[in-house]
Chain A
Amino acid sequence: MKNKRMKIARIEKDLNQKDLAKAVGVTRQTIGMIESGNYNPTLKLCLAICKALGKTLDELFWEEKK
């Protein structure tokens, strides 16, 4: 499932995927795959992304209520 919240948080911070990838320490491809829902990051990576975007785990990665 696509992670729209992560993408919007990234855009709010005026970061492109490459910038976020560099900040977190992964490749741009990894960020792209997380946002498109094609890769499940580890908790460690989720926390690093939250730290880089200034958001909490709930705000970026908790399941959306249908």
Chain B
Amino acid sequence: MKKQTVQDERVLAQNLKIGSDTGHLLLLILFISILIQKYLLNASFAQYAVELIAFLGAAFYIIMRNVTLGNDIFQTGKKAKNMVVTTSVFCGIIVTIINGIFNYLKYAEHYTGSLGFFMVTLAITFISATAAAFIIFFIVHLLNEKKKKQIEKKLNEDENKGDEDGDKDFADLSSIK
């Protein structure tokens, strides 16, 4: 007779959590490593290309996996559209701040007198970063909504099919009791 061993679900859940936290930590370290190599060490693209590809690949995997499973990435309805805009603006601000800091550190001597050119640079960076982020997030949002509709349609079909068997289910249950 085969002995059935019970898996300790608490330990399993802890192991999964540790794995998840490790993944998040690695992503953060990758991001910081790319910033340090690019802006502080002035490394060539070839030197941090692997980290960049790994970071972008992991981010892409996380997003697409959630999309294909039908998980909400940006909430639902009107809130989703607001979140797309808010997230795009937030990304634009972050990119502008990072770029602005390193740009000023690198080219401070060129910004003598007025900071007009610097402000224009920041404005262009903000607009283009926000626009690029908006396009990407909007596409992800559209894919997410499309997948959620497919899943809803399948659930509706299953529910309607189940309703047809409803009388049989009631009969089965009454016979068990």
Contact = CB atoms under 8 A, between A and B. Distances in A.
A16 to B, nearest CB: 8
A32 B158 CA distance: 9
Contacts, number: 27
Contacts of B70: 29
Interface residues of A, number: 15
Contact of A7 (B72, B151, B162): B162
Given A4-B173, A8-B173, A64-B176, A28 B166 contact: no
Q: What secondary structure prevails in chain A residues at the interface with B?
A: helix
B54 interface: no
A28 B155 contact: yes
Interface in B29-73: 70, 72
Interface of B: 70, 72, 151-152, 155, 158-159, 162, 166, 169-170, 172-173, 176
